[in-house]
Amino acid sequence: MENSIAFPNLGILLKSVGSHISIRGFEIAYYGILIGIGIFAGILIAVREAKRSGQDPEMIYDLAVYGVICSIVGARIYYVAFSWEDYKGDLLSILNIRQGGLAIYGGIIGAVLTIFVYSRIKKLSPFILLDLVAPGLAAGQMIGRWGNFFNREAFGEYTNNLFAMRLPLAAVRSGDVTEMMRRHLTEADGISFIQVHPTFFYESCWCLLLLLCLLWYSRKKRFDGEIFLFYLLGYGAGRVWIEGLRTDQLRWPGTDIAVSQVLAIILILLSAGWICSKRNRLTKGNKSATISKTVKDTGEEENK
């Protein structure tokens, strides 16, 4: 029971859920395995989108080599920057990512910077590349979030809803346990359990929905960069409410303000504003072109 994870309102009990596998004495964390699977899936989807849109799929493989490295570095830097108190006494621990500690927005920032540098070197449009990788980002997050399940982290406040998740108190970080969780502790076989929102599951489902929407709309986009902007808008919308449930939020130093919520809101506003502005310009341009064509056609008719 000490390694169990249960969803009592769904009647699901997993009696022993480990955090890693061992191969010849070498431990490989499920967290890392799932991130790897997510990256691989994201690359395959980006390659598929490149082929569908008539782009060279080889540039996706080329970009992935640099993008994956920079994304992981960016995700770690972002996390450590807002959790500095946990690392300043042991700087070498910054290099240990096997137990978690990667922030998705930091990974996105790293990926975007890589794309702009790569596109400048290769003389390509960064906005075309961003559109190609956007669905892959959603897919990677959808899969990678399940690493939090095995690490028993990134969960929310106490709940008794349909998807409530029950975890042994001793298996989670004490700093993630709130007073409300402690007030609702349950006991079984001498073991204390907390019951929480499985926010990793909520986000995984949200990313699946976002992935399907992006793949559908990619055939209807009106300008380069629009799919990526919709990704930022859609993911941000989900992150705002999901982040509000979590008890392990990264906060601005000295405040109770959740960093990811603020960044998500900013990206939602910027993306929505950019999409509306670009669409308005395109609409006005189309109207002007139509009027010009009508005037030209009328003139030709009069000359006849």
- What's the sign of the alpha-carbon dihedral 280, 284, 285, 287? positive
Q: How many CB atoms lie within 10 A of CB 58?
A: 10
CA distance 51 to 48: 5
Cβ–Cβ < 8 Å for 160, 257: no
For 116, the token pair is 């702009």
For 244, the token pair is 């509000």
Q: Which residues, listed in sequence order, are joined to residue 29 by a DSSP beta bridge? A: 20
Angle between helices 226-245 and 259-303 (to 10 degrees): 150
Q: Which residues, listed in sequence order, are joined to residue 258 by a DSSP beta bridge? A: 251
Is 145 marked as binding a ligand? yes
Q: Name the binding residues.
A: 145
